[in-house]
Amino acid sequence: MNVLVVDDQYDVVQGVIAGIDWESLHIAHIYPAYSADEARELLSAHDIHIMLCDIEMPLESGLELFKWVKAHYPALQCIFLSSHSEFEYAQEAIQLGCFDYILQPARYEDIQASIERAIHKIHAEAHMQQIYEYGAYWRENEEFLLENCIRSFLLDSGKHPGQLMRDLSNLGILIGASTPFCSVLIQLLKPGGSSMKTELKGLLSSLAGSMEGALLFVQLDRANCLALFYGDGIAAQAVESKMKVFVAAAERELQCPVACYVSDMGQADKLKQHYKALCHMRQHNVALYSKVFAMHHLMHVKDSSYSFPDMENWAMLISHGSGKTVRDEIHDYLLQQKRLGIISAEFLARFHQDFIQVFLTAAKHMKLDPSDIFFERYSYTDYIGAYTSLDKMLELVDFVLDYVQEHAKDEHHVHSPVDRAIAYINQNIEKNCSRAEIAEAIFINPEYLSRLFKKAKGISLNDFIATQKMEIAKSLLTSTKIPVHLIASKVGYSNFSYFSQVFKKYCGLTPLEYRQQSDV
């Protein structure tokens, strides 16, 4: 905290500065000023909290200076030190809002006591201002703060229900430890705009108006909201009934299909447990049914309800290039099961497993490598998690069968053993493939392959392999900063010295010389 001492008499200013125990008052800086103009400069340059000021000064009085101060620094506290006892001086000073008016000569102890009282007032006003600002912030952000405190409670396993009740109490929501709750997780099945939350809340509030108790509505994320019904008059069956009306009204009036998951009744200490159960129910709604699910009648799909079409026939159709037919049949089958209302997470997990077996059977017949699609072309995470959603499952089916169909076309367009050999060489350039290995991979006699290759390309198979490796090595040397020894291994040479010899024979330069020449 800083103080400004203003008086046209040098001795008075220095006497005040020397006579007050500023350290005990925790005053950081004391600034002297000998005129109103000098005081203005210091006030503009520094953060001043208290001003000790004389009234009678040449050119401009302390009262006139204080008028300017009140207009520009209304929080500053002013203590007038004046030798004038006239009532009108004191009256004007008080009317202007000065903190104190002390007649000179005065004891330094009295001046210090006045300063100390001014400091207490400044602290009190700052505290009140903080409370006011906090109150305004709470009022302006009440909805956000409500959502934040409930979200943080549900997601933070370490937070106690007592903390939630204290946070809600700060927002004016009084809930006791024995207050009954019924939680409803609301899932938006189609993405909505920014106003959808407000519209859903309004619709829900109007439907819940006839129920005893109160409602808290929280947006968890873009696709999920949480409604907390609480109070002595709340019953789970009544909430479930209202939510059925809500689901129908949301789709009819807002064109927003929703699924609602309703908990049993419980007190605050059960909220987290119930929320986890509702999230588990949501995970089981893999077909995204727009309906109400309640904890007391969780949907269980029995094994007898799982009827799979002829898997062997599907595998045969896929391997013979009829993937489109299989895809159409799978779409029809799954959508029919959805209409029957029997698709669950368990159902889809079993279908996912069986479909992968169908694909693996077809892939074996077609000599396809399944890892090519599940590790290189399709996201492995999406492949693993496809059973968590009917839409994801259908996307996986479409992708896999499109891949198989495209590969079947490619197989028909592979013309000659030479083309197949070149394709195999390029796919395995990091290996040291022998003629026998290549011939075996494309189902042809090694000697016959050599003769065909020489006739078609004009060079031997081994020379072609070496040329391909050297061309790739040249490209890597000029377009990357990969160390030369790693480039050697990438094109199938485990012996670096031998790679350098072959490269120099092919290019006339060592690998390092070739890279340096390319950098020039």
Nearest to 142 by CA among 164, 160, 168, 165: 168
In 341-429, which residue ranges form alpha helices assigned H by DSSP?
Answer: 345-366, 370-371, 380-384, 390-413, 417-427
Indicate whether 167 belongs to any domain. Answer: no
Strands 29-33 and 2-6: parallel
Indicate whether 155 belongs to any domain. Answer: no
CATH number of the domain encompassing residue 14: 3.40.50.2300
- Give pLDDT, residue 380: 66
Residues 408 and 439 in one domain: no
Q: How far is CA 505 from CA 341, 459, 467, 478, 516, in A?
A: 71, 17, 11, 18, 17
Nearest to 393 by CA among 404, 382, 401, 407: 382
- Give pLDDT, residue 413: 45
Strands 100-103 and 29-33: unpaired
pLDDT-derived band at 408 (thresholds 50, 70, 90) equals low
pLDDT-derived band at 307 (thresholds 50, 70, 90) equals low
Could you report the per-residue pLDDT of 358-369, keeping only the tens digit for each? 888 877 777 777
- Give pLDDT, residue 304: 43
Compute the distance between CA of residue 300 and CA of residue 288 in angstroms, rounded to an integer.
16
Tell me which residue range forms the domain holding 392.
Answer: 303-413
Report the number of secondary-structure helices (H) and strands (E) in the chain: 23, 10
Indicate whether 211 belongs to any domain. Answer: yes
Give burial (CB, 10 Å; 0-12/13-18/19+) of 259: buried
Number of separate domains in the chain: 4
Which of 236-250, 371-385, 438-452, 485-499 shows the lowest mean pLDDT across its residues? 371-385
Nearest to 484 by CA among 516, 511, 513: 511
Mean pLDDT to the nearest integer, 59-87: 88
Indicate whether 106 belongs to any domain. Answer: yes
- Give pLDDT, residue 475: 85
Which residues contact residue 292 at a Cβ distance below 8 angstroms, ignoring those fewer than 6 apart? 240, 243, 244, 247, 259, 260, 261, 262
Residues 252 and 355 in one domain: no
Residues 317 and 360 in one domain: yes
Indicate whether 150 belongs to any domain. Answer: no
Residues 324 and 198 in one domain: no
Could you report the per-residue pLDDT of 373-407, keeping only the tens digit for each? 666 566 667 777 788 889 888 988 888 888 777 77
Residues 339 and 352 in one domain: yes
- pLDDT at 238 > cutoff 70: yes
CA–CA–CA angle 144, 263, 269 (5° rounding): 70
Mean pLDDT to the nearest integer, 293-313: 63
- From the CB of residue 483, how many other CB atoms can be counted at a distance below 10 Å? 9
Whether 96 and 66 have beta carbons less than 8 Å apart is answered as: yes
Of 292 and 375, more confident: 292
Average pLDDT of the residues of the chain = 84
CA–CA–CA angle 131, 137, 143 (5° rounding): 135
Indicate whether 161 belongs to any domain. Answer: no
- Give pLDDT, residue 263: 93
Mean pLDDT to the nearest integer, 117-146: 77
Nearest to 187 by CA among 156, 220, 163, 154: 220
- pTM above threshold 0.75: no
Could you report the per-residue pLDDT of 277-291, keeping only the tens digit for each? 999 889 888 888 999
Which of 64-68, 142-146, 173-177, 502-506 shows the lowest mean pLDDT across its residues? 142-146
- Give pLDDT, residue 414: 45
CATH number of the domain encompassing residue 222: 3.30.70.270
Of 376 and 142, more confident: 142
pLDDT-derived band at 161 (thresholds 50, 70, 90) equals confident
Which of 139-148, 231-240, 272-281, 456-465 shows the lowest mean pLDDT across its residues? 139-148
Q: How far is CA 200 from CA 145, 180, 257, 327, in A?
A: 19, 24, 11, 37
Mean pLDDT to the nearest integer, 204-225: 82
173: Cα separation from own chain's centroid: 29
Of the candidates 413, 434, 452, which is a domain's last residue?
A: 413
- pLDDT at 449 > cutoff 70: yes
Residues 361 and 456 in one domain: no
Long-range contacts: 156-161, Cβ < 8 Å, 24+?
A: 157/272, 161/268, 161/269, 161/271
- Give pLDDT, residue 233: 81
- pLDDT at 176 > cutoff 80: yes
pLDDT-derived band at 409 (thresholds 50, 70, 90) equals low
Give the percent of the chain with pLDDT over 90.
30
pLDDT-derived band at 257 (thresholds 50, 70, 90) equals very high
CA–CA–CA angle 398, 309, 302 (5° rounding): 105
Indicate whether 68 belongs to any domain. Answer: yes
pLDDT-derived band at 299 (thresholds 50, 70, 90) equals very low
Indicate whether 423 belongs to any domain. Answer: yes
Residues 31 and 123 in one domain: yes
Of 464 and 167, more confident: 464
Mean pLDDT to the nearest integer, 182-191: 89
Mean pLDDT to the nearest integer, 134-158: 74
Residues 269 and 351 in one domain: no
pLDDT winner (highest mean) among 236-250, 322-336, 429-443: 236-250
Residues 193 and 255 in one domain: yes
- pLDDT at 198 > cutoff 90: no
CATH number of the domain encompassing residue 481: 1.10.10.60
Residues 123 and 181 in one domain: no
pLDDT-derived band at 193 (thresholds 50, 70, 90) equals low
Of the candidates 269, 297, 325, which is a domain's last residue?
A: 297
- pLDDT at 255 > cutoff 60: yes
Could you report the per-residue pLDDT of 310-368, keeping only the tens digit for each? 677 787 777 767 778 888 888 988 988 888 888 888 888 888 888 888 888 877 777 77
Which of 129-133, 182-186, 233-237, 244-248 shows the lowest mean pLDDT across its residues? 129-133
Of the candidates 297, 321, 340, which is a domain's last residue?
A: 297
Residues 195 and 129 in one domain: no
Which of 108-117, 261-270, 337-346 shows the lowest mean pLDDT across its residues? 337-346
Residues 370 and 293 in one domain: no
